[in-house]
Chains A and B, each alone.
Chain A
Amino acid sequence: MAGHELIERHLQALAERLPAPMVDELADGLLASYDDQMERLGDPDAAARAAIADFGDADTVTAAFVRASPGRQAAFRLLIAGPIVGLSWGAVLLTGDAWASTIPVPSRLTFGFLLGSAVLMLVLAVRERRRYATVRLAALGATGTVAVLDTVILGTVLTLLPPPSPLLLVALIGSSARIMLAAQAIPELVAHP
């Protein structure tokens, strides 16, 4: 489909980093540009070089797609919400340890491990620049894990019925908001390539 070996190589570099529909769309643009340059310059090598120079290098194009990706945006939102919700629950547990101490240690350790994994996946989704699929999968994994953890917290509170307090209310609202954030983000992350 590509009109020149250089164009083909450029598209191959993009195909290693971006989903197929995006590469199809970019290929159409790059080949249209190549056709225009061929009309203008008449020489295939010069036209391919000019089209690629005008197009931008694979790193720049990939980074722009990653920045605009739903995965990156969802990860940013959760990373901002994380410390607020985490501090709220931390304060609840520190001030009301009588009910919290009834939660078995293995459950707490599992919770902590999953939370740590979610944070690592969020950081990966925000920091990765070159692999679109990695950003999407990391964001999807983190969003799902955060939603499950927040649901577990809400379920635990409903089961143990700790004494109500303003701090507990803030933490519950925080977790509920985060579940809603995840519920909004997950369908978009699944639907996008």
Chain B
Amino acid sequence: MRAEALKGHLDGLLLAALEDGPQHGYAVKEALRDATDGKIDLPTGTVYPALHRLEQAGLIKGSWSVVGGRRRRTYELTEKGRRSLAGARDHWQEFAAVMSAALGGGPWPVTN
């Protein structure tokens, strides 16, 4: 999938990947890839700045641990993040319904 098609949806995708529990950056990227059968495969290095942005916005919070001798930062959703994810889902469903209606070949509404 082309990167520009994800514009405006990246935050929601990352929040959704963290919905089931804390994950580190690479696991977030892998979760997104697996959930979409490889159709959304973000460059690993660009997932981290996006996670930092979400953390600064208070939507997720990170904590450090050491795994296999490596420092690892793990992120989890905050309450604000959960609300933002719910909002992103509602917005997406509305948008998808409108686009499906417009592109699906059905009759267009009559306007004056």
Contacts and interface: CB of A to CB of B under 8 A. Distances in A.
Contacts of A64: 45-46, 48-50
Nearest to A30: B44
A61 B69 contact: no
Nearest to B67: A28
Contacts of A24: 70-71, 73
Contacts of B50: 64, 68
B26 A61 contact: no
B45 A26 contact: yes
Interface stretch (A52-60, A143-151, A157-165): A52-60
**Category for how many chain A residues contact B:** 20 to 34
Interface string B10-44: 00000000000000111101000000000001011
B52 interface: yes
B73 A25 contact: yes
Interface string A66-108: 0110100000000000000000000000000000000000000
A180 B88 CA distance: 31
Contacts of B73: 21, 24-25, 28
B61 interface: no
B82 interface: no
Given A25-B25, A29-B24, A33-B26, A65 B48 contact: yes
Nearest to A70: B56
Contact of B46 (A28, A31, A60): A60
Contact of B70 (A28, A54, A188): A28
A54 B69 CA distance: 23
B48 A25 contact: yes
Interface in A29-65: 29-33, 51, 54-56, 60-61, 64-65
A54 B44 contact: yes
Contact of A65 (B25, B52, B71): B52
A60 B45 contact: yes
Given A32-B26, A65-B52, A68-B56, A25 B71 contact: yes
Contacts of A51: 44
Contacts of B89: none
B91 interface: no
Contact of A29 (B41, B44, B52, B67): B44
Interface of A: 1, 21-22, 24-33, 51, 54-56, 60-61, 64-65, 67-68, 70, 188
Nearest 3 A-B pairs (CB), nearest first? A56-B45, A61-B45, A64-B49
9 contacts: A25-B71, A30-B44, A32-B24, A32-B27, A56-B43, A56-B46, A64-B45, A64-B48, A70-B56
